[in-house]
Amino acid sequence: MIRYLLSIIFISLSFIFSQQQADSVGFFVKIGDPSPNFTITFPNGDSTSLAELKGKVIMLQFTASWCSVCRQEMPHIEKDIVQNLECDDLIVIGIDRDEPAEKVIKFAKDMKITYPLALDPGAEIFGLFAHKQSGVTRNVIIDKTGKIAHLTRLFNMEEFSTMVEKIKVLLKDDGG
């Protein structure tokens, strides 16, 4: 019986300590960490992986149609990043949290964005970066070598401007 109880305690402690520890805003990842690899699928059925995009500066915007803060941020992403910084070395992808393709297509159209929105059923991709119970909007900037270079949570103009400046610096970097 004691052996059984010790086994249960050991398994429970192993489980607890194996769980990723999130920071104060729910991120598991930190600046300087290699980004988790994943494959994303777009509503039209096309897909890509983070590994296929290596060598580019990547902005992932975790979003959802029901998120009012996301809706506030998206026009700024479109104008200040997609349109203003447009270049071959920058990839901007919105990752829509756990909504069906039809809703994601309508959301992109309603928001008048030109950057693609990808699907994230079950928030599986989101869960690689942040605790699934934490919210969107959040942005992850990945440098040309595949490392996380900048993280944001929610939207305020000062933080957004800092992120835009970070993207500009990363675009000038040769990735070496």
Range of the domain at 135: 21-172
Distance of CA 99 to the CA centre of its chain: 15
Q: CA-based angle 105:84:106, to the nearest 5?
A: 10
For residue 120, give the CATH number of its domain.
3.40.30.10
Element containing residue 159 per DSSP (H, E)? helix 157-172
Report pLDDT digits (tens) over 55-114: 999 999 999 999 999 999 999 999 999 999 989 999 999 999 999 999 999 999 999 999
Q: What does DSSP say about strands 138-142 and 57-63: parallel, antiparallel, or unpaired?
A: antiparallel
Residue 53 has pLDDT above 70, yes or no: yes
Lowest-pLDDT range, 27-31, 110-114, 116-120, 163-167?
Answer: 27-31
Residue 10 lies in a domain: no
- pTM for the model stands at 0.86
Q: What does DSSP say about strands 138-142 and 117-120: parallel, antiparallel, or unpaired?
A: unpaired
Residue 100 lies in a domain: yes
Distance (Å, whole) CA 69 – CA 51 = 29
Residue 20 has pLDDT above 80, yes or no: no
Predicted pLDDT at 137? 87
The number of folded domains in the chain is 1
Residue 61 lies in a domain: yes
Residue 2 lies in a domain: no
Predicted pLDDT at 55? 96
Percent of the chain with pLDDT over 70: 85
Residue 14 lies in a domain: no
